[in-house]
């Protein structure tokens, strides 16, 4: 990248009617993060000093997301075309002198590397007036076409205005551009709406620059990177593209995915080396997995950390705040929430551990529950190191189990247990000899 200041204009003024949603289209999640957020991350990674979101219907939702991030929001009150939409950002960028990237909020997969290539081409020795990002889709029918010669644009035309010969061209316009601010506003002021749709088309600035004797350039990317989202089905398609790329990256970085297409990552999932992930594992936002972890099939993990060498699942659920220590075991049908399992601790079967601290080397028996909620408040359970909690025990918080203590199976513990003590909190067993035999005999006679 050169030292020229960079700004971005992200167009998000479409009504998104095909989404059939009360949520603004660009705020629909992709890998757990709004589509708009993915673009913002890419732009900020390039060091953009200004970012303006141009929105229309649903502007309050967009502003609520963008403003806390320090971004500016401009409004396109009437949808009069893409050139008109970009021009609405002019006042927000008043006084800005530098390069401007023009992006679309519903085209979320564009990488910072591709954006950097666009800007670099703008500063190539031949100094094009505009750089356009092109692609070659399998189906070209609905896209505007780019007629180019060795990367120099000869003509750009919208599909509905294109001739049969122009429609035969396979190089299509993604709509994404890079342009100098000094050129952008001047060219936009000259754009007219004498076309089939009666709209102000952004690609017209390329032809207007040509009338001034200046050329524009096109660089290409793959169709997946500029896939747009206008419906729920297209959102699912883009999600599939993102997930496929993320799985490939995980494996490149040293993780084994036993059935890759069934593993779903979040936008911020961190996976270490020599991690093995079984089928149908879902990572929600905020997950960090250290090296040499095994995650068996059908686990759901969100906002949790897993220490090196730990074994998770199958069928385990780690909810927000779960912190699994090194070499700890969380087995089948175990749920952990806002709880810490120390190094080597084990909860292997049918257990709920919520709002708790479990010490290193402690064993939690099957069916154990930390009773953390009384209908009004949440309370913590403290379990020391090397303790043993027998199966089918209920630990009624707030309660503390000392280091090395044993809780007998089937106990309901309501008081603290000292270190190295045995707690038995269950009714006394009585046996009545012969009672069962007499009961069966009476039943058969009756």
Q: Which are the catalytic amino acids?
A: 349
Residue 142, token pair as written in the block:
């609905």
The secondary structure element, H or E, covering residue 22 is: none
Q: What phi and psi, each to the nearest 5 degrees, are found at residue 261?
A: -70, -10
Length of the chain: 446
CA 37, CA 27: separation in Å to the nearest integer?
A: 8
What is the SS3 assignment for 208? helix
CB atoms within 10 A of CB 184: 26
Instruction: Dig out the tokens for 177 from the structure.
Output: 């551009």
Q: Which tokens hold the place of 254?
A: 């040293």
Q: How is residue 314 written in tokens? A: 């199958």
Q: For 330, which DSSP code? A: E
How many C-beta atoms surround the C-beta of residue 285 within 10 A?
A: 15
Q: Is 126 helix (H, G, I), strand (E, B) or coil?
A: coil
DSSP string for 41-56: HHHHHTT-SEEEEEEB
Contact 30, 105 (CB under 8 A): no
- Asked if residues 383 and 398 have their Cβ atoms less than 8 Å apart, the reply is no
Instruction: Characterize 357-378 residue by residue with b for buried, 16 or more Cβ atoms within 10 angstroms of its Cβ, and e for exposed.
Output: bbbbbbbbbbbbbbbbeeeeee
Pairing status of strand 399-401 against strand 381-383: parallel
30: its two tokens: 């992709």
Contact 277, 299 (CB under 8 A): no
Contact in structure between 200 and 82 (CB atoms under 8 Å): yes
Other CB atoms within 10 Å distance of the CB of residue 348:
17
């Amino acid at each position: 990248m050169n030292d020229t200041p960079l700004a971005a204009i992200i167009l998000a003024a479409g009504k998104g009617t095909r989404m059939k949603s009360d949520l603004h289209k660009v705020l629909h999640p992709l890998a757990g993060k709004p589509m708009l957020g993915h673009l913002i991350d890419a732009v900020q990674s390039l060091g953009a000093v200004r970012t303006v979101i141009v929105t229309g219907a649903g502007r309050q939702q967009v502003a609520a997301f963008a403003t806390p991030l320090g971004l500016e929001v401009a409004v396109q009150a009437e949808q009069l075309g893409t050139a008109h939409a970009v021009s609405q950002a002019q006042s927000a960028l008043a006084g800005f002198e530098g390069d401007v990237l023009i992006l679309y909020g519903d085209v979320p997969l564009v990488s910072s590397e591709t954006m950097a290539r666009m800007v670099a081409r703008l500063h190539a020795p031949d100094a094009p007036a505009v750089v356009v990002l092109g692609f070659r889709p399998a189906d070209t029918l609905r896209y505007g076409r780019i007629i180019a010669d060795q990367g120099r644009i000869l003509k750009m035309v919208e599909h509905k205005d294109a001739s049969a010969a122009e429609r035969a061209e396979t190089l299509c316009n993604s709509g994404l551009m890079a342009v100098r601010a000094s050129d952008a506003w001047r060219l936009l002021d000259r754009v007219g709406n004498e076309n089939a749709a009666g709209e102000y088309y952004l690609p017209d600035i390329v032809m207007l620059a040509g009338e001034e004797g200046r050329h524009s350039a096109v660089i290409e990317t793959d169709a997946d990177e500029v896939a747009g989202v206008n419906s729920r089905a297209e959102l699912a398609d883009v999600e599939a593209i993102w997930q496929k790329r993320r799985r490939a990256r995980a494996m490149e970085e040293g993780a084994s995915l036993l059935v890759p297409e069934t593993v779903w990552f979040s936008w911020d999932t961190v996976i270490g080396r020599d991690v093995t992930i079984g089928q149908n594992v879902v990572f929600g936002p905020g997950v960090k997995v250290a090296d040499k972890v095994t995650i068996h099939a059908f686990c759901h993990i969100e906002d949790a950390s897993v220490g090196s060498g730990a074994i998770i699942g199958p069928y385990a659920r780690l909810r927000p705040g779960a912190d699994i220590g090194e070499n700890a075991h969380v087995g089948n049908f175990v749920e952990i929430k806002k709880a810490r399992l120390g190094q080597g601790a084990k909860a292997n079967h049918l257990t709920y551990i919520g709002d708790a601290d479990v010490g290193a080397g402690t064993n939690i028996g099957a069916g154990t529950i930390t009773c953390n909620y009384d209908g009004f408040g949440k309370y913590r359970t403290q379990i020391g190191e090397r303790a043993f909690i027998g199966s089918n025990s209920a630990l009624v918080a707030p309660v503390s189990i000392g280091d090395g203590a044993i809780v007998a199976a089937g106990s309901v513990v309501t008081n603290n247990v000292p270190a190295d003590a045995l707690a038995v909190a269950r009714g006394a067993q009585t046996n009545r000899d012969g009672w069962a035999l007499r009961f069966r005999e009476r039943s058969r006679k009756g």
